[in-house]
């Protein structure tokens, strides 16, 4: 057998297998078509509705002279809840406003817990301490006591509670 004959035989075999495979795919496709043809055809209302939905325009364009009544805009007013303001306790006010000066003695301020530094001040009366804490105090120190310790957002009662806390810790 010559080399050309071997090539021709092999070539014929490959072509034959491909033809058989193609016929198998064709028969399979025809069978599937027969089984599914009645499920979704172009003449059914379902198919027409699906096509109409896919190709429907997103918006509408009106030519000059044509008018379309627009819906009136609806404004929904949402009532905002009133903020809940909770008063801080004496220790909280001390930690946020008073601690910077009254823990280290900045500018001659009395250190909380040092009884000797607070004795003369407590002797003046609690109302004087409240007044100095709320309205500020220049005194004889190099750095004055700022009104409400520089925290003007604090209420008078919160400042009083902080003074009570510092006096209790220093007595």
Q: Taking the domains of the chain in order of start, what are their residue ranges?
A: 3-55, 90-170
Given a cut of 70, whether residue 97 has pLDDT beyond it is yes
What are the CA-CA distances from residue 31 to residues 39, 40, 42, 107 (Å)? Answer: 14, 16, 20, 99
Give the per-residue pLDDT at 26. 96
> 90-170, which class in CATH?
mainly alpha
Rounded average pLDDT over 86-115: 82
Rounded average pLDDT over 8-17: 94
Give the per-residue pLDDT at 140. 66
40 — pLDDT class (breaks 50, 70, 90):
low
**High-pLDDT (> 90) share of the chain, %:** 13
Looking up tokens 């805009």 gives 73
Given a cut of 80, whether residue 41 has pLDDT beyond it is no
What are the CA-CA distances from residue 13 to residues 1, 23, 27 (Å)? Answer: 17, 15, 21
- Say what the pTM is: 0.51
């Amino acid at each position: 057998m010559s080399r050309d004959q071997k090539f021709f035989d092999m070539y014929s075999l490959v072509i034959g297998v491909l033809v058989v495979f193609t016929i198998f795919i064709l028969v399979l496709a025809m069978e599937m078509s027969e089984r599914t043809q009645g499920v979704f055809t172009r003449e059914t209302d379902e198919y027409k509705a699906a096509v109409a939905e896919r190709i429907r325009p997103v918006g509408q364009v009106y030519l000059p002279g044509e008018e379309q009544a627009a819906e009136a805009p609806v404004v929904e007013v949402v009532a905002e809840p009133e903020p809940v303001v909770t008063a801080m306790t004496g220790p909280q006010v001390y930690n946020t406003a008073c601690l910077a000066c009254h823990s280290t003695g900045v500018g001659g301020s009395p250190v909380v817990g040092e009884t000797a530094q607070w004795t003369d001040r407590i002797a003046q009366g609690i109302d004087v301490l409240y007044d100095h804490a709320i309205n500020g105090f220049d005194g004889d120190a190099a750095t004055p006591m700022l009104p409400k310790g520089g925290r003007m957002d604090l209420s008078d009662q919160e400042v009083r509670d902080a003074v009570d806390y510092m006096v209790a810790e220093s007595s």
